[in-house]
Structure 1
C-alpha cells in the first residue's frame, strides 16, 4: 500500500473513531431501536469510507459524517416505511435538524457523564452500568449487588442524583450551562 493511502486510511480511522459515538447517537435518535441504529450505522460507515477521498477538509469530518448519517437514515426509513408506520419526512427532517443543532451540547454532557462515572469506585460504576446494559433485568443486577430489588432501586436513584449533580458541576465549570 503506498504511504499516501496508508496515511489516508489512518486519518480516516482516527476521525471516524473520534466521531462515531456522536454519529451513532444522532442516528439512534432518528430510528426506533438500537438494532435499527446498528443497521443504519453499517451503511453510514461504508459510505464514509468509500467517499472519504471527496472530503476537502478533515476538520469538517463531523459535520460531513452527520450529513451522510442523515441521508442514510432517511433512505433506511423510506425503505422501512413500506413495512410499518413511520414518521413523515417533515417530522424526520425537523428531528434531524434539531439533533444536529443540539449535538455539541449533548456531546459535552456525554463527556461530563463519562468523567463522573470514572470518578465512582469501580464496584459502584460496574453496578450502575450493569443496570443500564441491554437485555439485563434489574432483579439480576440487584442480586449481583447483594441488595433487594427495592433497596437497589433506592441506591440506583441516589447514584443517578449523584451523577447528575457531578455532570452539572462539570458543565458549569466549563461554562456550558
Structure 2
C-alpha cells in the first residue's frame, strides 16, 4: 500500500509535469533570458512542492502555480533591482497580469485544438501530427500519405483550415473567442 506522502508526490509530479510548459512560458515573458527563466523555474518547483499540501483543489493547480511563479519572478526582479536594466515593479505587475490572462486564452485554445484533433480520423490525425514532429522530413510524411510533397502541403493546408474552424466554433461555444 502506498503511503500518503508517495501519493502526494505522484500527484504533484503529474500536475507539475502537465503544467510546466505553461508556467515556464509565463516566467519567460517576465524575464530577459532563458537562463533566468530556468533559474526561476527551479525555485518555483521547490516552492510548489513545499506548499503543495496547502493546495485545496487540485483543479486549481495551474492558477495556483502561476500565482507562485508571479511572486517568485517579482522576488527575482527585486533581488536584481540594482541592475540598470530592470523594469519598474508596477510595469512588471502589469505584464504579469497580462501574461496570466494570455495563458488562460492560450490554454483554452490548446484544449480546443486537442479536442478537434481527436475528432479527426486516426490516419489523418497521425499525418497532421507527423508533419510537426521535431526533425521530421516532410517528404517522408508525404510519401506515407501517398501524396507528392506539393499535394501533401495542399492537404495539410486544408486540414489546418478545418482545425482552425473547429477551434473557433469550440471557443465561441464556450464564450472564449
After superposing the two structures, state which structure 1 stretch, 159-168 or 88-97, moved more.
Answer: 88-97
Equivalent residue runs for 1:17-166 within 5 Å: 19-20=19-20, 22-27=22-27, 39=38, 43=42, 44-53=44-53, 55=54, 57-58=56-57, 60-70=60-70, 89=87, 95-166=95-166
Equivalent residue runs for 1:6-25 within 5 Å: 6=6, 8-9=8-9, 11-13=11-13, 15-16=15-16, 19-20=19-20, 22-25=22-25
Asked which structure has the greater CA Rg, the reply is 2
Please report how far the alpha carbon of residue 98 of structure 1 lies from its aligned counterpart in structure 2 after TM superposition.
2.0
After superposing the two structures, state which structure 1 stretch, 139-148 or 164-173, moved more.
Answer: 139-148
Please report how far the alpha carbon of residue 48 of structure 1 lies from its aligned counterpart in structure 2 after TM superposition.
1.8
What are structure 2's unaligned runs of at least 5 residues? Answer: none
User: Structure 1 length normalisation: TM-score?
Assistant: 0.67
What are structure 1's unaligned runs of at least 5 residues? Answer: 80-86
Q: Tell me if structure 2 keeps the 8 A contact 1:40–1:72.
A: no
After superposing the two structures, state which structure 1 stretch, 113-122 or 35-44, moved more.
Answer: 35-44
Q: Distance in 2 between matches of 1:123 and 1:9?
A: 37
